[in-house]
Chain A
Amino acid sequence: MTGQAYAGRPNQLLRNLHSKIASIPMILTAVVIFLGGTLWTVFYSFTNSKLLPRLSFVGLDQYERLWAAPRWLMSIQNLAIYGFFSLIFSLVIGFVLAALMDQKIRFENTFRTIFLYPFALSFIVTGLVWQWVLNPEFGVQSVVRSLGWTSFTFDPLYNQSIVIYGILIAALWQGTGLVMCLMLAGLRGIDEDIWKASRVDGIPMWKTYLFIIIPMMRAVFITTLVIIASGIVRVYDLVVAQTSGGPGIASEVPAKYVYDYMFQAQNLGQGFAASTMMLITVAIIIVPWAYLEFGGRKRG
């Protein structure tokens, strides 16, 4: 690449030696940790490792047990609900905010700073703040009740059937700023002439957005979608901080299942099987995207 094609050295390995030495950390990370570690986990998910990993194969037993465990099923259900609404709301809120910000408004920087600051905070901080705001004894519920609406009930963190939405509220607070920023960057990348043309043709603004701008921003949407989606599968700290999976097991998520089985229940096999399922989930999201994104043109 760097004009060394004519280097007549016999030993291929010594060519570009410094570069290779400098890349050792990257090669080790890629091959040993990312590739090796992943294969290792998948491999050991077919064993009945308990406290320590050991090689006694039990076929798909761990997976059968996994898919029979109420806690895992709950985790998957939660992930599905949380994931679905999180995707929809992130995209809609993020896009609407970005569209509003794109109207040549004043104080744009102030608004951007406000919308994005939660993203700088950790999920632990986010979870704890919203735990407090949603506290039924002191938080939103009690405030509304003290205003006179005494039967008002809003206690997502203490109600098994809606607890996942309580987590969703916190997650949206933390993450929509990022989506807004990505969308805004996308909107700014759209040629001004498109707007002029649509104005000349007398197309209403909402129609322009819906039928012209959004289809043009396909790439931005897909990238954002992938980012949000791979974040959703990982959701862990937020749940730990906000509800610790409770009440009962109502807000368990897969990542927490993995951690608990690996490091607390000392049932490694289950943990490996569950993390392999997470891997498959991510693969389902990533592979079609990678195929669409890079499959068409050959990469050199």
Chain B
Amino acid sequence: MDDTVSLKGRAAHSASRLAPGPKGKKPRPMFSPRNIMIYGALIFAAAYYLLPLYVMVVTSLKGMPEIRLGNIFSPPLEITFEPWVKAWSSACTGLNCDGLSRGFWNSVRITIPSTVVSIAIASINGYALANWRFKGADLFFTILIVGAFIPYQVMIYPIVIVLREIGLYGSLTGLIIVHTIFGMPILTLLFRNYFSSLPEELFKAARIDGAGFWTIYFKIMLPMSLPIFVVAMILQITGIWNDFLFGVVFTRPEYYPMTVQLNNIVNSVQGVKEYNVNMAATILTGAVPLIVYFVSGRLFVRGIAAGAVKG
């Protein structure tokens, strides 16, 4: 059909391609009522989502006298970075006045090993489930996935007891174990689905060549799965950094992660409220996941979509 059309010249050809419907590039006026409505609604929504971020930044750059006078939406008359310095190095939680930096480093010390350990374990689990299924494996996996829906509160206290028995309650190691446990359902699912989607011939060929469980994992599966490892990392880094409940339950105050310390700083009842310091501290705490989010872009979306489609 296209051949006959093409004889009649380029213009006719492209015209016939336009005919069936809106798939082609039909020129639309930029300011049609329809467009104005769509973009108007989107921009309005965008403003709602951006407003708190704007308010945070603006407030953190003002001095306290200016905050007391002006409204929270006005840009700072005099920009000061003092609240940031104070939030980082000298804001008080109870008796400690060494700022949010302690929480930051605690969170780093929690997030990095938790991410590594949970991904290592979950990827091996996923691999075993996808390629080396043994009897009963599916049952355990089902329990794991159903367990992902159980509220954490139901399982917290038994874990406290177990950790206390093995002497890890309150330590960083204990918290890392907890993050590994609760990251397991979603990560295992992620890896299982990914490994299942790889061509089975690859696995069979390696088996015929005499490769065993670990050789195939390290030599074939791992190098082929970098994207999914990145997705898992994004999921875990943001998830663990943002955690509050486990940090507060399973660690001693000197190991409190950043979120817990932030909450203690802002919601402390003593002293004069320094809103600019509070907002600087809030931005500092949100900075890590935000950076991960902006840098990773589409992979983040893929991660949450994978996290969302359970079962």
A positions within 8 Å CB-CB of B: 1-3, 12, 15-16, 18-20, 22-23, 25-27, 29-38, 40-42, 53, 93, 96-97, 100-101, 103, 105, 111-125, 128-133, 135, 138-139, 142-143, 146, 173, 177-178, 181-182, 185, 192, 196, 199, 223-224, 226-227, 230, 233-234, 236-237, 240-241, 244, 255, 258-259, 262-263, 268, 271-272, 274-276, 278-279, 282, 286, 290, 293-294
Determine if B262 is an interface residue (Cβ-Cβ < 8 Å): yes
B73 x A125 contact (CB < 8 A)? no
Tier of interface size on chain B: 35 or more
- The interface residues of chain A lying within 8 Å CB-to-CB of B143 are 30-31, 34-35
Given A2-B207, A117-B294, A125-B242, 11 other A-B contacts at CB below 8 A? A2-B133, A26-B140, A30-B147, A34-B143, A38-B154, A113-B294, A116-B293, A132-B275, A278-B151, A278-B153, A279-B151
User: Across the two chains, which residue of chain A brings its CB closest to B127?
Assistant: A22
Asked whether B204 lies within 8 Å of A23 as measured between CB atoms, the reply is no
Contact of B153 among A16, A129, A224, A275 (CB under 8 A): A275
Consensus secondary structure, chain A interface: helix
Tell me, in angstroms, the Cα distance from A181 to B275 when the chains sit together: 33
B195 located at the interface, meaning its Cβ lies under 8 Å from any Cβ of chain A in the complex:
no
Cβ 8 A contact of B42, one of A12, A29, A40, A100 = A100
CA distance A97 to B241 in the complex (A): 28
Against A, the Cβ 8 Å flags (1 = close, 0 = not) of B172-201 are 000000001100100010000000000000
**Is there a chain A Cβ closer than 8 Å to B41's Cβ?**
yes
22 A-B residue pairings within 8 Å (CB atoms):
A2-B133, A18-B132, A30-B144, A40-B157, A53-B157, A105-B39, A114-B46, A114-B50, A116-B300, A117-B49, A120-B286, A122-B242, A122-B289, A124-B259, A124-B285, A185-B305, A199-B21, A244-B267, A259-B245, A262-B153, A282-B150, A290-B146
Identity of the chain A residue whose Cβ is nearest the Cβ of B241 in the assembled complex: A122
Chain B contacts of A124 at CB under 8 A?
Answer: 242, 244, 259, 262-263, 285
Report yes or no: A255 in contact with B151, Cβ–Cβ below 8 A: yes
Residues of A contacting B188 with CB < 8 Å? 26
Query: Could you tell me if B267 and A241 are in contact, using CB atoms closer than 8 angstroms?
Result: yes
Nearest residue, chain B, Cβ from A130? B52
The 9 lowest CB-CB distance pairs between A and B, nearest first, are A34-B147, A122-B242, A19-B132, A18-B213, A37-B158, A120-B293, A37-B155, A30-B143, A1-B133
User: A129 contacts which of B135, B155, B282 (Cβ < 8 Å)?
Assistant: B282
Write out the residue numbers on chain B whose beta carbons fall within 8 Å of the beta carbon of A12.
135
> In the assembly, what is the distance between CA of A117 and CA of B139, in Å?
37
Q: Which residues of B contact A139 (CB under 8 A)?
A: 72
List the B side residues contacting A244 at CB < 8 Å.
267
- Residues on B with C-beta less than 8 A from A30 are 140-141, 143-144, 147
Collect the chain A residues with CB atoms within 8 Å of residue B285's CB: 122, 124-125
Q: Is the CB of A27 within 8 A of B50?
A: no
Separation of A278 and B38 alpha carbons in the complex (Å): 41
Closest Cβ of chain A to B65, distance in Å, is: 13
